[in-house]
Amino acid sequence: MAELRPGERGGIVDVEGVLVGHDQRFDEHWATGASVVAVPEGATAAVDVRGGGPGTRETDALHPTHLVQQAHAVVLAGGSAYGLAAADGVMRRLAECGHGLQVGQRPEEVVPIVPSAVLFDLPMGDWGNRPDAEFGYRAAVSADRTDTREGNVGAGTGAVAGSLKGGIGTASAVLDDGTTVGALMAVNSAGEVVDPSTGLPWYPVPGLRAPDPTEVAAGRPAGGRRGRHGPTGRPLNTTIGVVATDRRLTKAECHRVAVAAHDGIARAVRPAHGMFDGDTVFALATGARDGLPEAGEPSWATALDAVCSAAAHVVAVAIGRAVLAAEPVGEVTSYTIRYPSARE
């Protein structure tokens, strides 16, 4: 893998043209929310779905052979399939600002392209409390270049990662040639992000040291899982996210980035891509930097592989950061509570 250095803010907002916003509700009856990765001027987009239980919207439009070439935002939300409604609010906000696919002569005649994916967090709140269009609208209104919040925000508010609290994580990396690649992940996996034999994430995350052995021995997860209001009945599930780069890519190249990004999930979550998981990663290319060399040339493959390798890396780091930043919710403990000595 090409040498990588962290981006300035350490999040997907380091990619020029990318904005991030979150909205959530957290109280004794609610623990859910929505996150938006907005590219109002449009970005080449693709998606790859690996989990056996996905909840998605507008993914067919991103197929490399289909008409639409760009997306204007990606929505990640809790609420299982109900949470797909959050995309309605993001579309409304983008349309108000004149952003979208131009379908008429007047500036307001646009259709924003907003692919979306959801995670299953319903047991973490009272039944019926899930994100709707207003969550998406507020997240879109708040979206900016500075939001690098992690943990219990947005789509990660009610997320659980194995036996620990999950959440939102973000990371970025800069390649030798100046290309920036970033990821924002909502981690609600059936698998574990932390190796129970060491107390450390499967994929290295900066700022950690091996926790005290007594914490490791006490922290090995017991069987069974509980949501905030009792047994879940089946695993909470799904790791969803967005990886973005400032390179100009075709839809087919973008799809390769989305495919490679799943390597990051496989490195950071064990097991991953199961039948109860809806693991889905979107890829965005804003085109702020020049494109790759001519397709088919050896230098083209090398350049694309470098972006793909960076995508897998930032996804894996973002997943680990999501768990490190999360705070307990109800009976679901957090990494910092279980392994307090791990922080350097």
Ramachandran sector of residue 180 (left: φ over 0; alpha: ψ -120 to 50; beta: rest)? beta
The DSSP code for 29 is S
The helix or strand, by DSSP H or E, that contains position 86, with its residue range, turns out to be helix 86-96
pLDDT score, position 231: 67
Above 60 in pLDDT, residue 1? no
CA distance 166 to 257: 24
| Count of helix runs (H) and strand runs (E) in the chain | 6, 18
Above 90 in pLDDT, residue 222? no
In terms of DSSP H, where are the helices of 169-297?
213-219, 251-268
- Which domains are assigned to the chain? 5-342 (3.60.70.12)
Residue with tokens 């950690």: 208
CA distance 50 to 58: 16
Above 80 in pLDDT, residue 3? no
pLDDT score, position 229: 73
Calculate ∠ Cα 218-220-225, nearest 5°: 120
pLDDT tens digits, one per residue of 142-183? 999 999 999 999 999 999 999 999 999 999 999 999 999 999
CA distance 155 to 238: 11
pTM: 0.97
pLDDT tens digits, one per residue of 202-214? 999 989 999 999 9
Average pLDDT over residues 111-117: 98
pLDDT score, position 227: 73
Average pLDDT over residues 25-41: 97
pLDDT score, position 237: 84
Average pLDDT over residues 235-247: 92
Average pLDDT over residues 192-203: 97
Average pLDDT along the chain: 95
Any bridge partners for residue 181, and if so which?
Answer: 173, 245
Average pLDDT over residues 189-215: 95
